[in-house]
Amino acid sequence: MSVLTLNFFTQEGTPVYRVGICDDEKNTCTAIEKMVCEYAKQNTFTLETFIWHTGEALCEALAKTTLDLLFLDIELITTSGIAVGRYIRNELEYHEMGIVYISAKSSYAMELFKIRPLDFLIKPVKYEDVAQMIASARMLARRNKLIFEYRTKGNYGTIPYKDIVCFISDNKKINVMTSASAIVFNGRLRDLLPQLPDNFIQIHQSYIINLDHMLSCKYDSVKMSDGTQLGISQPYRKEVRRQIAEFNWGE
Amino acid sequence: MILYIYYKYMHSFLDTANVNRMRELSVYLLMLLWLLTITPSLPAHWESLSVFLMIFLLTWQYEAPFVKKLSLALFIYGSYVFCMLFTGYLLILFDRNMRTDTFAAAQSVLFLIFMYLGEQLAEFAAERAGRLRRRLAESERAKRQLLGYANQMAVMKRSEEKVRGLRHDLKHHLNELMFLAERDEASEIKEYIKSMDAFMTYSREYVSSGNTDIDSLLNLMLDFAKKELCDVSCKVSIPRELAIKPFDLNVILGNLLDNAILAAKQTPEQYLKVRISYKPEMLLILIENSYQGSVHKYKGQYRSTKKDGLEHGLGLENVRHVVEQYDGNLEITDENQLFRVKAVLYVPAQKERISP
């Protein structure tokens, strides 16, 4: 593993942005790294890049460290990009990292979509594409840093928004579901919704879900990353579809 | 009774979607009052003119072009006059001494029968025209699908030929590269590789998602778009095994791209952007194009600016219909000379393999 740290106009306390690249072709790695650094230089932020040439090395490293964005080759020689992606999402339960798949072909297997990649890029990778990926991943990272504050039994508590799978209301109480725990506080979804980031949408009178934790969506139900299945009630269906399209294409 | 017939006529010929029910009813009641009280007291020629005016006024509640309203009123009035004359003729033929109220009753009965038959005929004709139009649109789609497949076959064949051609000359190319490398001519080597790459890629293959249906349709449409427009971009990231019927896909993408290309062609930017992506169980389509002038909106829905009346707004209607079959959404926005269509379709994952 080679590590390269670049400091452009480093500000005190600014978190370092971490980008990983995993491809068995050394040239592709170098090309992407160059573009990533070029983007960081133009947009004056601090950035660290990590390069791996095999999926195994990447998996081993990810068990110990975190990344904000990963460029991952689909056609790795020993382990496929699908297996690595599955390991990241299912084994490590690492949901907030943006994965961008790179490949020479533009033909994709259904399995890849279950890993919820940020996007797909085709080799040879273009600068504009890389720039766009980092821009949207940075926006994601900024959103993931937001913290949800609540009050229960006179005590204040906090949870990072990225860990919240969904809010479920139950009789003037709201359950905050994360993959690890459930917290209950008093409140109404109606008052809660306006203060949430835009990746939270209401799908039912008593459910608000985090789109980043949505595994799949049928027209009448969604499946979340913690395995729960929630129904989309009739009056919300049209609006849910509209919001998902909006969220997907960005604005 | 006569008023009901009028009502039926208005509804079958004019657009009645945006009508306030209460207002409509009160207008008809007013007309009834007019017919019962004022009309009989008018002199004969004024009487018939007032009937015409009344019918014409009735048409103003509905949305339709002026000429259509006028011709409808004229038609109803014409049949009214015809019936009056015809009963008069019958009167002369048979019974000159018939009482006036019997005469009037005969007149209205004849008018009613006449109008009823006319209405039935019109409905029948409209149904036939609709069926014909649907069949036409269907055959148009079938033709395009066939054309798409043929084009895709040609595209694939050409790509394959190019690769084979390159492989055939590979030894020669390698020799040349080795020769350049021995003389350390890096820039020449780069140039040579670039030209090899250009030779290999076939410029008319824009989409290769591995999904033959989508590829064939998009390659056909985009080839056309590239010829007509100057700023065309397309990105398709979808699974190969997508469970959507080629026919439905054809309706959606074919119609939307047709409209987009036509609209963009009339603008200086000539801009078209196509994005198709997939989230588990959801197919998301985005089509953006530049447009100029006014978008025709009617009943809150978009209408085409095409001149051919038969296909008026039918394309989008079909798209909406298919999208709804997939429990989806079609959202259309236009702002700053940018027309944007977003479609969401629920496409279930392929049936899971049944474990033994």
Please give the Cα distance from A17 to A30 (Å, whole number).
18
Q: Which residues of B touch A245 (CB under 8 A)?
A: 284, 329, 331, 342-344
B168 vs A118 pLDDT, higher one: A118
> Could you tell me the end-to-end alpha-carbon distance of chain A, in angstroms, rounded to an integer?
37
Q: Indicate whether A130 and A160 sit together in one domain.
A: no
Q: Indicate whether A140 and A47 sit together in one domain.
A: yes
Q: Indicate whether A131 and A32 sit together in one domain.
A: yes
* Last residue in a domain, options A121, A144, A167: A144
The residue-averaged pLDDT of B24-51 equals 74
Q: Which of A108, A119, A223 to mutate to test the interface with B (most CBs of B within 10 A)?
A: A108
Minimum-distance CB partner of B237 among A108, A216, A219: A108
Minimum-distance CB partner of A245 among B211, B281, B331: B331
Task: List pLDDT tens digits, range B251-270.
Answer: 888 889 988 998 898 889 89
Q: Indicate whether A123 and A163 sit together in one domain.
A: no
Contact criterion met (CB < 8 Å) for A112 and B239: yes
Q: Indicate whether A138 and A98 sit together in one domain.
A: yes
- Please list the helix, strand and coil fractions of chain A in percent, rounded to the nearest 5, in that order: 35, 35, 30
Delimit the domains of chain B by residue range. Answer: 2-134, 206-349
Q: Indicate whether A73 and A163 sit together in one domain.
A: no
Nearest CA in chain B to A118: B279
Contact B110, B86 (CB under 8 A): yes
A120 Cβ under 8 Å from any chain B Cβ: yes
Tell me which residue range forms the domain holding A168.
147-249
Q: Indicate whether A94 and A167 sit together in one domain.
A: no
Contact criterion met (CB < 8 Å) for B281 and A246: no
A126 Cβ under 8 Å from any chain B Cβ: no
Q: What is the pLDDT of residue B86?
A: 78
B176 vs B96 pLDDT, higher one: B176
Q: Which residues of B touch A116 (CB under 8 A)?
A: 279-280
* Sign, Cα dihedral of A122, A128, A133, A136: negative
Contact criterion met (CB < 8 Å) for B277 and A248: yes
Q: Indicate whether A121 and A30 sit together in one domain.
A: yes
CATH homologous superfamily for B206-349? Answer: Histidine kinase-like ATPase, C-terminal domain (3.30.565.10)
Contact criterion met (CB < 8 Å) for B209 and A108: yes
Q: Indicate whether A13 and A132 sit together in one domain.
A: yes
Q: Indicate whether A19 and A119 sit together in one domain.
A: yes
A218 Cβ under 8 Å from any chain B Cβ: yes
Structure confidence at residue A4 as a pLDDT band (50, 70, 90): very low
Q: Which residues of A touch B286 (CB under 8 A)?
A: 249
* Last residue in a domain, options A86, A120, A144: A144
CATH assignment of the domain containing A129: 3.40.50.2300
Q: Indicate whether A206 and A83 sit together in one domain.
A: no
Minimum-distance CB partner of B279 among A217, A242, A246: A217
User: H helices within chain B, ranges in order?
Assistant: 2-13, 21-37, 44-59, 66-93, 100-168, 170-182, 186-200, 212-228, 246-249, 255-265, 314-325
* Last residue in a domain, options A144, A166, A185: A144
Task: List pLDDT tens digits, range A126-141.
Answer: 999 999 999 988 888 8
Contact criterion met (CB < 8 Å) for A108 and B207: no
Contact B188, B220 (CB under 8 A): no
Task: List pLDDT tens digits, range A14-68.
Answer: 567 889 999 988 899 999 999 999 999 998 888 899 999 999 999 999 988 888 8
Q: What is the pLDDT of residue B14?
A: 66
Q: Indicate whether A140 and A151 sit together in one domain.
A: no
- Listed in sequence order, the residues at least 6 apart from B43 whose beta carbon sits closer than 8 Å to its beta carbon are none
Structurally, chain A folds into a number of domains equal to 2
Look up the pTM and report it: 0.69
The residue-averaged pLDDT of B47-56 equals 74
Q: Which residues of B touch A218 (CB under 8 A)?
A: 281, 346, 348
Please give the Cα distance from B5 to B26 (Å, whole number).
16
In Å, how far is B169's CA from the nearest CA of chain A? 23
Question: What ipTM goes with this model?
Answer: 0.84
Contact criterion met (CB < 8 Å) for A108 and B238: yes
Q: Which residues of A touch B327 (CB under 8 A)?
A: 219-220
